[in-house]
Structure 1
Amino acid sequence: MNKTERLLAIVLELQRKKVVRAEDLAALFETSVRTIYRDVQALSEAGVPIIGATGTGYSLMEGYFLPPVSFTAEEAVALLIGTDFIEQRFDNLYRVRAGAARGKIEAILPESVRQEASSVRQTMRLLPSNPSQAASSLEREYLETIRQAILDKRKVRFQYARKIADAEGRRHSVRTVAPYGLALLHGSWMLVARCELRQEIRHFRLTRMDELIELEERFELPARFELKAYKPADDRHLRVHILINPDITDKIKESNNYYLEDMEERPDGLHAFFRVRHTDELLQWVLGWGANVAVLEPESFRNRIREEAENMLKRY
């Protein structure tokens, strides 16, 4: 990064944040604090209203705003592909806004950059890993409702279908939760929320929700909770060991199973190791590969697969 680029980047950083220390700028741009002092002096002499306070840092005078900057073809492609992603995966409001943003970005690009960006975009396409992962209209509707509830700090209520039945054989329940945030995981939107039924933070797939409504009741987000830093407790304590036919090794690797932890190539085939909460989480996946896979551990899961195979045989 040359000096001119660094000066512009410093202004953008000051515009993005209220106060920035010289030490932080030096670390960000991989230069010395003395160089940052000289850069700030140069910007001040050029008319940029930078305010410096000893022991606090630098800030821009209130009301100052840098006019729109130009984009390189690569930067334009990054932004335009971002709008494509939002149109695919976000709710209707953001789909419309993404289209508007794309038009504005394209409008300010010089003709040469616009053509280059268009050529690059024609060589790329965003596709879900599974066609069924394309967001449905109901999922988009729920995404918008939950997103607004998070901003309003209001609780939501919905019927939820568990993947695996509880100890009493029930798969459906009504949940009232305080929504903390949304995460896109393996192509599916997940709600991170404090569940009143379980009295702890739980995760809920939007595709398993029904009859979602926003309530009038408000909630307070815990002071120390940050979605970006949040890591759910790992309660997958059951280890599953599976032997895989070498002929389908590539297919197994491409399946990108969420519970897969490790794989080892051995003389007798590919050994795959999984960690799950319940073996039911792997049941359909294992059965789907037929005789090409064999469960080695635990013994209870081997017996369950055997029972399912016998039941299948009876149907034929």
Structure 2
Amino acid sequence: MTRSERLLAILQTLSGRRRAMTAAALAQRFAVSERSIYRDIAALNLQGARIEGSAGVGYVQREGFFLPPLAFDADEAAALLLGLRFVMRRGDATLVRGAESARAKLAAVLPAAFDDAAGADVPLLVAPPPERTGTLGALRRAISRQQVLRIRYSDRDGHGTERRVWPVALGWFEGAEILAAWCERRGAFRNFRLDRIRDIEPLDERPPRSRRSLLAAYRRLEPGLQF
């Protein structure tokens, strides 16, 4: 393992850990001396990492540090470009701006893989979204804020109903985009097509269960869906 590879591996090891990891434990994991770990931690902090701690106590990585990619092979770059293209075609305005910004940052680090010329060499395209009533951004905000929604919804025959729902997640499928939500009227989870939602009214009311709890329950009912 080269030093660059070890630096990346140290960041990946510390990422998401709540408890500090000692230099001795890191040294044992990477088969180097503790002195090498001290130098590695110092080098990472100079590069912008937010690793806190000290010898004998241990180290933790604070939130807020984004690791710039060191290298991607052709398949990894293609996968990332496909994901960004999907968001730029199918996301709401805020997500589109985020995807464009993320691609610009990746291109600044690895232009050979992520600039416009490289993108033209990746023959993976994303179709435009199905008809949508401009609800995606409002639904994302309601999910984030854990708000109950009042919606007007039309079935496949055009019959409209009013529902109170607890929004859980958004899903993108080949022929439709859907809102997964608990429907108070039905007393069960339901999938609502975004192109059939005619009106959304966020209420100053939170569901009696957390979104995490609702999402876990929904996943148990729909194990094949990756939310």
TM-score between both structures, scaled by the size of structure 1: 0.53
Cα distance in 1, alignment partners of residues 210 and 172 from structure 2: 20
SS of the equivalent of 1:213 reads: strand
- Indicate the RMSD between aligned Cα atoms, in angstroms: 3.9
SS of the equivalent of 2:221 reads: coil
Name the counterpart of 1:125: 124
Are residues 214 and 122 of structure 1, via their aligned partners in 2, closer, same or farther at CA, if it must alter by over 3 Å? same
Cα distance in 2, alignment partners of residues 15 and 203 from structure 1: 38
**Structure 1: gaps of 5 or more residues:** 23-32, 165-169, 235-316
Contact 2:153 2:197 in 1 (8 A): yes
Indicate the larger mover: 150-159 or 60-69: 60-69
Cα distance in 1, alignment partners of residues 170 and 160 from structure 2: 22
Name the counterpart of 2:48: none
Query: Which amino acid in 2 is paired with 1:127?
Result: V
Percent of aligned pairs with the same amino acid: 22
Q: Over alpha carbons, which structure has the higher Rg? A: 1
Query: Which amino acid in 2 is paired with 1:46?
Result: D
Cα deviation, residue 179, structure 1: 0.6
Are residues 135 and 20 of structure 1, via their aligned partners in 2, closer, same or farther at CA, if it must alter by over 3 Å? farther
Name the counterpart of 2:197: 209
Are residues 223 and 92 of structure 1, via their aligned partners in 2, closer, same or farther at CA, if it must alter by over 3 Å? closer
SS of the equivalent of 2:17 reads: coil
**Structure 2: gaps of 5 or more residues:** 43-50
- Greater strand proportion: 1
SS of the equivalent of 1:157 reads: strand
Cα distance in 2, alignment partners of residues 162 and 195 from structure 1: 14
1:72 and 2:72 aligned: yes
Name the counterpart of 1:47: 41
Query: Which amino acid in 2 is paired with 1:218?
Result: R
Contact 2:171 2:177 in 1 (8 A): yes
Cα distance in 1, alignment partners of residues 40 and 7 from structure 2: 12
Which protein has greater RCO, CA pairs closer than 8 Å, 6+ apart? 2
Query: Which amino acid in 1 is paired with 2:179?
Result: L
Are residues 150 and 62 of structure 1, via their aligned partners in 2, closer, same or farther at CA, if it must alter by over 3 Å? closer
Name the counterpart of 2:47: none
1:36 and 2:29 aligned: yes
Cα deviation, residue 123, structure 1: 4.0
SS of the equivalent of 1:175 reads: strand
Matches within 5 A, 1:1-316: 2-4=1-3, 6-14=5-13, 16-19=15-18, 35-36=28-29, 38=31, 41=34, 42-48=36-42, 51=53, 59-60=59-60, 62=62, 65=65, 68-72=68-72, 74=74, 75-110=76-111, 112-113=112-113, 118-119=117-118, 121-128=120-127, 134-138=129-133, 141-163=134-156, 171-219=159-207, 220-221=209-210, 224-226=213-215, 230-232=219-221
Cα distance in 1, alignment partners of residues 218 and 186 from structure 2: 22
SS of the equivalent of 2:140 reads: helix
Cα distance in 2, alignment partners of residues 175 and 65 from structure 1: 42
Query: Which amino acid in 2 is paired with 1:180?
Result: V
Cα distance in 2, alignment partners of residues 233 and 64 from structure 1: 33
Deviations 1:248-299 (A, max 9, x none): xxxxxxxxxxxxxxxxxxxxxxxxxxxxxxxxxxxxxxxxxxxxxxxxxxxx
TM-score between both structures, scaled by the size of structure 2: 0.71
Are residues 223 and 95 of structure 1, via their aligned partners in 2, closer, same or farther at CA, if it must alter by over 3 Å? closer
Cα distance in 1, alignment partners of residues 66 and 199 from structure 2: 46
